A = this chain, B = another copy of it.
Amino acid sequence: MGHTVSSLATLVQGEVRGASDRLICNAAAIESAGPDAITFVLDESHVSRLEACRAGAIILNSKIAAGIAATEHTSLIVVADPHAAFQQILPQFRKIRGKPTRGISPQAYVSPSAKIGEDCYVGPGASIGDEVEIGTGCDIHPGAAIGPGCVLANDVVVYANAVLYQDVTLGDRVIIHSGAVIGADGFGYRFTDGRFVKIPQLGTVEIHEDAEIGACTTIDRGAIGPTIVGAGTKLDNLIMIAHNCELGKHNVFASQVGMAGSCTTGDYVRLGGQVGIKDHVRLNSGCMVGAKGGVHKDIPEGEIWIGYPATPEAEQKRLVFSLKRVPEMRDRVRELENQVKKLVKQIEELQSQDEARKAG
């Protein structure tokens, strides 16, 4: 099922350069696009990747198009926002699966005391506990387990086999991916008589509107009050958010981040993959931590920290730059020692001649 370059250009209100009747049957990234595929150039940084590009059509902006000509094999479509245009075209070449058929599977379990809103899907094997309240337009995929007392707002999606323990609340449009576990007990023990005795974790988890929680990410319930994920915050896969943490709005954490108990963040905080944050640390709004960083103190607003232990970026870069030169520095110190030894001898000589002269 193909589309001509001109029909695709019309779809995105773009200007065609080169052949407009070429048939396009697929959409792909620059490197993988073949002669029957359309691709796009995000910005200047991607121009160099065009060299070996074999795509039949390329979406780009007028600035980049100024430096590139259509060829016998490749047409251009010039638009204001190539990424948006590509996103608009891509579905033409993909099977887009709609939401699952509405209704509650006879193979789901729904507690008699649960309330489920209109226009919801509850898949086979899903389990909805006592006193759960689910709004309208929600999708609870197969095998997902919603513990007693949970409250889901509207248009929430819980993917297959994700788990909410009791009394978790999810805001509008929250997405919980498969394997995520929300509201397991925080890791709290009291050491008594040679053993660790569990401290009851009596708080909950609140995930606010538009947040998205990645596959196999775990967010523990608070010990006393709620663990909170702020509105619009996006957590990638395999992340650990420990009990009592309170994340602000529009944070973005890459996968495998680990955040120990009682940390708090402002808004727009960004963490790279595998970052670790010590308990009770405050990450202020707009700060960032580079991948694999290990943070053990508060980060001021807007700062970028990297390294383990993490420090401000400039400091760390200076440090890493210096450390790389340590082997060379060892050579220089050795050379200095030799020179100084020689100087010591020479001076002794001069001094002894001096003595001799005085004596003479």
Tell me if A285 is interfacial: C-beta within 8 Å of chain B: no
Cβ-defined contact, A237 with B218, below 8 A: yes
Chain A residues touching B, majority SS = loop
Cβ-defined contact, A184 with B344, below 8 A: no
Name A109's contact: one of B124, B180, B200, B320 (CB within 8 Å).
B124
For A124, the chain B residues whose CB sits under 8 A away are 109, 127
In the complex, per-residue mask of A130-170: 1 if CB is within 8 Å of any chain B CB, else 0: 00000000000111010111000000000111010111000
Name A329's contact: one of B142, B200, B291, B333 (CB within 8 Å).
B333
Tell me if A194 is interfacial: C-beta within 8 Å of chain B: yes
Name A202's contact: one of B91, B200, B274, B339 (CB within 8 Å).
B91
In the complex, per-residue mask of A102-117: 1 if CB is within 8 Å of any chain B CB, else 0: 0001010100000000
In the assembly, how many copies of this chain are there? 3
Cβ-defined contact, B276 with A291, below 8 A: yes
Size class of the contact patch on chain A: 35 or more
In the complex, per-residue mask of A50-67: 1 if CB is within 8 Å of any chain B CB, else 0: 000000000000000000
Q: A29-B224, A330-B322, A332-B337 are in contact. Are A149 and B343 (CB under 8 A)?
A: no
Q: Nearest chain-B residue to A339 (Cβ)?
A: B340
Name A181's contact: one of B237, B273, B323, B327 (CB within 8 Å).
B237
10 nearest A-B pairs in the assembled complex, by CB-CB distance: A109-B124, A145-B160, A127-B142, A181-B215, A163-B178, A184-B215, A218-B237, A240-B255, A215-B218, A94-B202
